[in-house]
Amino acid sequence: MQWLFFEQCSHEPHIAVAHFWLVHGEPSEKQRRRRPDRHASGYAALDAAEAHLAEGSFFVADEGGFDVAPYDHVRAWLERVASEPGHIPITQG
């Protein structure tokens, strides 16, 4: 349950929303003003994911304009997920 809550409270409102804005059109002026806060919270979520993945291979139970270059374990996890048979990238409609 921890990672389900993490996704809903730390990933989705920050990283996924920023990703949506980049992929599906520019946000409103109000949303643009909130982008730095979303990125700060998104990087905090990436820090938590990085720490977890340093100890394991998967989350058990990017994008969005974020620079994941410093997050070695997050990038490796993204690559593992993408290599799974039948994986469909989020960028496909």
Give the model confidence (pLDDT) of 39-48 as tens digits: 999 999 999 9
Residue type at position 21 = W
Q: With cut-offs at 50, 70 and 90, classify the pLDDT of residue 4.
A: confident
Reply yes or no on domain 2-82 having CATH 1.20.1050.10. yes
pLDDT higher than threshold 70 for residue 33:
yes
Q: Which two tokens stand for residue 37?
A: 């806060």
Instruction: Answer whether 66's CB lies under 8 Å from 39's CB.
Output: yes
Q: With cut-offs at 50, 70 and 90, classify the pLDDT of residue 63.
A: low
The pTM score is: 0.71
Q: How far is 10 from 8, CA to CA, in rounded Å?
A: 6
* Domain map (residue ranges) of the chain: 2-82
- Over pLDDT 70: what percentage of the chain? 90
Residue-averaged pLDDT of the chain: 86
pLDDT higher than threshold 60 for residue 61:
no
